[in-house]
Structure 1
Amino acid sequence: MTHIWRNELTRILYILLFAGVVGWISGSIAWAICTVLALYLWFALRFLMRLDQWLEGSPDQSPPESWGIWGYLFDKLYHNQKRHHQNQQRLIDIISKVQRSSGALRDAVVMIDQNGNLEWWNNAAETLLGLRSPADKGQGITNLLRDPRFIAYYDRQDYHDPLTLASPMDDNLILEYQITIFGRNERLMLVRNVTRLHRLEQMRKDFVANVSHELRTPLTVINGYLETFADFSDQLPPRWGRATQQMQQQSRRMQNIINDLLLLSRLETTDIEGQQQHIEMDRLIDSIRQDALLLSGEKAHNILIDNQCDAQVIGSENEIRSAVSNLVFNAVKYTPPESSIIIRWQETSQGATLTVEDNGPGINPRHLPRLTERFYRVDKGRSAETGGTGLGLAIVKHVLIRHNARMEIKSELEKGSRFICLFPLHRLHWDQEHQHKETAAATPALSDLMTSQDSRESLR
């Protein structure tokens, strides 16, 4: 480029020099220079007109004839334009290929703009969702999919978990909606037909519920006879008495497993909408603390309450009690005697959290992702000794899901564990008289319980 411009500047200097010589001979240097510059400007305007006409024409049209710097510029513009056209065509081919491949998917793919209007969808979306092309293009997604549960899911913008609903085209089809936000608040919605998986899951739930229910009657009969044997243990041989005691212990454990399975089945198959209550968390936590102290007994755990929130939880009190009890009782069972256990209820910017914290042996981080699985145990031997069923945390998870909440587990070996239940704002309620109350007024019970410096350090 430097060589081209240098030649052009040299050409201009030669023209000016020639004009100066002609003007000196004719006796009018100024007029000669002006005349030459006017001619040069006229040629430049002609080339600009040709450039304008060429740019308005077809991109494949060859550049107009020119010389000097203008020829160089025309050629450069032509090559840039051609390269841009090739890149554009390549992008069009890629987009077309993506659309064709997406159109061949069995799952529905729907693109939604930042205003919530439909931009594009594949053939499966027309079959599963009833979208019509091109009539529905530009329509709001919530105007076409009017199920209140879908509208609430779409507006909440919390797409961490998928939504499962019946198809608007066929009630026998079960669809799973998964939305991803990208770009400038645009959304990509994937919809899968999970009817077969839903039926298999329903069969599993029915099987567990039916088997658990059917086992209750024979187990009750067995327990009755074992209690009778226990009443007459003094008349039985010593070996029979020890065997009867072990059978009673295992029978009670089996009864607990059945009760937990039935509770899980109920959590999975019933609707919580008819069980809405305003739960006073301070009263519920204090009641659970009293039960935990009885369970601790001679272990003398130091169980503290840190209440920093006036909010009530909207939901099922029995289910919330079951979830919190499982967390607190687990802390009592699996921490050494005289350990500190803190039940903390506090307000956050996104809602409220209930935390059960202990200073026990902790849990290896590799176990944390699977703790809420059914029958998963970190230490099977210790769980059997404490009478655990392996279903407690699974119950906690399902209760929280039913209350639109979630659980976080944080633990380190030899540093204790924290189980945090996060409740969203729409699951909380404040009494009018407590709306402007200071947070510090909600924590006198903690100061009464913390009677030593060691307890204060444990709380921190």
Structure 2
Amino acid sequence: MRSWSRELWRLAWLATAGLLIGGIVSQAGLGLAAGLAVCLGYHLRQLRALYQWLTLHPQTEPPAASGMWGELFDRLYRYQKSQRLTQSRLRATLARIQESSEAMRDSVVMLDRHGDLEWWNSAANDMLGLQAAHDRGQHITNLLRDPRFVAYFNARDYREPLTLPAPLDERRILQYQITLYGDDERLVMARDITRLHRLEQMRRDFVANVSHELRTPLTVLAGYLETYLDLADHLPDRLARGLTRMQEQTLRMQNLVNDLLLLSRLEIDQGGNDHQPLDMPRLLEGVKRDALALSGDHHVIMVEVEEACSDRLVASEQEICSAVSNLAFNAVRYTAAGSHITLRWRRHPKGACLEVEDNGEGIDPVHIPRLTERFYRVDKGRSTATGGTGLGLAIVKHVLLRHDAQLEIESHPGRGALFRCVFPASRVSQ
């Protein structure tokens, strides 16, 4: 404000001086104009100095000036200095980020809001075959053309990573993870998981081979035990009880081997060859009969089909039947006699869903995230006693993954449990 007042006094003084001088020569108007012209010339001179400083020598000290112009020069200089310091810090931070990204073994690719390549680290050159001279500004799907990656990229659902062979070497297995940030920009990270993939493949092969090799001796053992038990009336009670116990455990081992073989097939076989529209009421009625047989008619099992839902599920009948049967059998095993179990087929906002609901003891929510893990048991003692293998929900999970579906579990102690298989609209036909 002081500088502004000083400039007003300067203007007033020059105007007054011009009037006085003009009055002496009887040209007051001309004198006033001359005083204002001098003031204007001073400001134009300072404005020219400002322009030259900003355009020609912005890094040097500002021109010397007094009053309002001097304060303006000082403020601009301090602002420029702070901006240079900020830019220097940002450049240093960006350089450190780029250096750290270059040091990573994983590929890092930055895309703009249109999906075009902006920047990537050196690992992406070797892993994805990107070349800075040709590929910058290209759309990511022009370079990574695998239909599965294109579908994953366009779906914009990046909660789960995508595993694919590397574009340059199919023997290498890459895991892609995309993250949205900023103004709809995307960060693509690719990790080489070839070693983990091979270990997982070895594990699957080992389980499948061992399970297959166990099937024959178990079948022979079960056959001889059944023959011996036919003669149980002629054997001592102690020996007969031992044979009965052996038969129970042999049957349990056979069920375990069968479930392991089924899991291995679900993991290895791509499937899809036997998919067809399924008659869901008929399928659920069949599962109901099997569940009642397991229960010994000690449970109340119902089938509910929503009246408005005449849709058919396009899927493998064998696999869907296996998944629903596992859910229904679990409900029979882990609920008390007299409990109600409902098998339900209805519409869902995402498409349609299969539900298995019971009014049993329920499950503590702490256990729900791990229920689909192999051999995970909420109550190990009770699970063993009921004859479960611990693989039922793992089978359900893999069947649903093969049908683009999701498993939702709702349960609380004392409130029963609800297992919901949600299928997308693409899997439902009228």
Name 2:247's counterpart in structure 1.
Answer: 248
In structure 2, distance between residues paired with 1:362 and 1:25 = 108
Asked whether the 8 Å contact 2:348–2:422 carries over to 1, the reply is no
Asked whether the 8 Å contact 2:14–2:39 carries over to 1, the reply is no
Q: What aligned pairs does 1:5-404 form with structure 2 within 5 A after superposition?
A: 5-12=4-11, 15=14, 32-307=31-306, 308-404=308-404
- What SS does the corresponding residue of 1:299 show, helix, strand or coil? coil
* Code of the aligned partner of 1:197: L
**Cα displacement (A) at 1:246:** 1.2
* Code of the aligned partner of 2:313: V
Segment drifting more, 133-142 vs 257-266: 133-142
- What SS does the corresponding residue of 2:214 show, helix, strand or coil? helix
In structure 1, distance between residues paired with 2:337 and 2:130 = 63
* Code of the aligned partner of 1:415: R
Name 1:454's counterpart in structure 2.
Answer: none
What CA deviation, in whole Å up to 9, does each residue of 1:380-430 have, x standing for no partner? 111112111100011111111111222122211111222222222222222
Asked whether the 8 Å contact 1:59–1:82 carries over to 2, the reply is no
- TM-score by length of structure 1 reads 0.87
Asked whether the 8 Å contact 1:54–1:63 carries over to 2, the reply is yes
Asked whether the 8 Å contact 2:372–2:393 carries over to 1, the reply is yes
Return closer, same or farther for 1:109/1:38 CA change in 2, 3 Å cut-off: same
Return closer, same or farther for 1:324/1:26 CA change in 2, 3 Å cut-off: farther
**Cα displacement (A) at 1:9:** 4.3
Asked whether the 8 Å contact 2:309–2:347 carries over to 1, the reply is yes
Segment drifting more, 326-335 vs 7-16: 7-16
What CA deviation, in whole Å up to 9, does each residue of 1:254-309 have, x standing for no partner? 11111100000000001123232222333322322232233333423242414253
- What SS does the corresponding residue of 1:273 show, helix, strand or coil? coil
**Cα displacement (A) at 1:312:** 2.5
Q: Structure 1 stretches of 5 or more lacking a match?
A: 431-460
Asked whether the 8 Å contact 2:410–2:417 carries over to 1, the reply is yes
In structure 1, distance between residues paired with 2:150 and 2:183 = 20
In structure 2, distance between residues paired with 1:239 and 1:10 = 122
- What SS does the corresponding residue of 1:423 show, helix, strand or coil? strand
Return closer, same or farther for 1:206/1:57 CA change in 2, 3 Å cut-off: same
Asked whether the 8 Å contact 1:405–1:424 carries over to 2, the reply is yes
In structure 1, distance between residues paired with 2:10 and 2:336 = 95
- What SS does the corresponding residue of 2:167 show, helix, strand or coil? coil
Asked whether the 8 Å contact 2:112–2:185 carries over to 1, the reply is yes
In structure 2, distance between residues paired with 1:148 and 1:359 = 44
Asked whether the 8 Å contact 1:159–1:179 carries over to 2, the reply is yes
Segment drifting more, 136-145 vs 38-47: 38-47
- What SS does the corresponding residue of 1:200 show, helix, strand or coil? helix
Asked whether the 8 Å contact 1:302–1:338 carries over to 2, the reply is no
**Cα displacement (A) at 1:3:** 4.1
In structure 2, distance between residues paired with 1:288 and 1:58 = 85
**Cα displacement (A) at 1:235:** 0.4
**Cα displacement (A) at 1:330:** 1.2
Sequence identity, in percent? 53
Return closer, same or farther for 1:18/1:278 CA change in 2, 3 Å cut-off: same
What CA deviation, in whole Å up to 9, does each residue of 1:421-455 have, x standing for no partner? 2222222222xxxxxxxxxxxxxxxxxxxxxxxxx
Root mean square deviation of aligned Cα: 2.2
**Cα displacement (A) at 1:359:** 2.1
Segment drifting more, 243-252 vs 335-344: 335-344
Name 1:412's counterpart in structure 2.
Answer: 412
* Code of the aligned partner of 1:258: V
**Cα displacement (A) at 1:59:** 3.5
In structure 2, distance between residues paired with 1:279 and 1:428 = 10
In structure 1, distance between residues paired with 2:270 and 2:64 = 79
- TM-score by length of structure 2 reads 0.93
* Code of the aligned partner of 2:72: L
* Code of the aligned partner of 1:172: R
- What SS does the corresponding residue of 1:336 show, helix, strand or coil? coil
**Cα displacement (A) at 1:62:** 2.4
Aligned length: 429
**Cα displacement (A) at 1:40:** 2.2
